[in-house]
Structure 1
Amino acid sequence: MHSATFLPADTSIRKVAETMAGKNIGSVLIGASGDISGILTERDIIKKVTSMGLDPDSTKASDIANSPVVNIDADADVYQITSIFNENSIRRLPVMEEGQIIGILTTRDVTKSLIPGFFRHHPLFKDIKEYKKKG
């Protein structure tokens, strides 16, 4: 999970992009921790600003942010998390605890957490290990 970055709704897209680049992050939340009005990703900037020729100085975050924001409780299990990612075709998910956003979970975070167990227990990879031992 990554820390969440919040920006006001009237922030220019240029400032949003500069914030993302400066913090090396792929998304920002629009609003405050307990009251977000949208989420904006680098993909949104490419699709909705760059490809449509919008002015990044006059276009505001609220103009192109995705809303409503889908989020998940901090105690959700992996099945719930992956279901929400898939059902909503999203890759970033704000995590809520006691009405406040405590971070952003990404599909990459979930994949990284699952891969070690997958490689340890999947029969295909056990066969590869045996093959390498024999070779």
Structure 2
Amino acid sequence: MNQQIRKIMTSNVVTVNDSQTVQEAAALMSQYNVGSLPVVNNNGQMVGMITDRDITLRTTAQGENPEERVADVMTAQQIVQATPDMDAHEAAQLMAQQQIRRLPVVENGQVVGMVALGDLAVDNQLDNEAEQALSSISTPSAPQK
């Protein structure tokens, strides 16, 4: 049986504006206990994602100023997204292929939800896909030389 993402996604998604500071993004992550935020522009269109890892590696580890803009630290290229009508099995496969744990759900350029690996795991029909996705995501990468 096909199940649309809209039925399992979290729809109250906190976003950050691309002109806000990295410090503000980190504070939002802390406040809402999340590890990533969709980044939107002034028109509400999704333009990227910023993760706690982005902040650590692109700001803190580089000795950069936490007042740097989110736009300078976020991932903006090839943002993997789902649509509300996407099949949940397809979303799980996409997450496994792209090695991501959180998938923004976008409709007409606007963020309408977020699906996490945990959302798939709690659905009995999707627990095998979630397990396979986690296995793919958790495959260790080779250290950089």
Using the size of structure 1 for normalisation, the TM-score is 0.73
Give the SS at the match of 2:94: helix
Structure richer in strand, relative to its length: 1
Deviation readout 1:72-97 (Å, 9 max, x if unpaired): 11122232111211222222111134
Structure 2: which 5+ runs fail to align? 1-8, 129-145
Higher relative contact order (CA 8 A, sep 6+): 2
| Separation in 1, partners of 2:65, 2:125 | 41
CA distance in 2, matches of 1:17, 1:113: 30
Out of 36, 40, 49, the position equivalent to 1:31 is 40
Aligned structure 1 segments of 4 or more residues deviating by more than 6 angstroms: 115-118
Residue 116 of structure 2 is aligned to residue 106 of structure 1: yes
Residue 51 of structure 1 corresponds to: 61
CA contact (8 A) 2:89 2:126 kept: no
Cα distance in structure 1, aligned partners of 2:93 and 2:115: 13
**More deviation, 79-88/12-21:** 79-88
Query: 1:38: Cα distance to partner?
Result: 0.6
Which residue number corresponds to residue 62 of structure 1? 71
Distance (whole Å) between structure 1 residues aligned to residue 26 and residue 83 of structure 2: 28
Q: Which has the higher helix share?
A: 1
Give the TM-score, by structure 2 length. 0.69
Question: Are positions 1:10 and 2:28 aligned together?
Answer: no
Letter in 2 for 1:5: V
Give the one of 78, 86, 89 matched to 2:88. 78
Paired residues in the alignment total 117
Q: Which ranges of structure 1 fall in alignment gaps of 5 or more residues?
A: 119-135
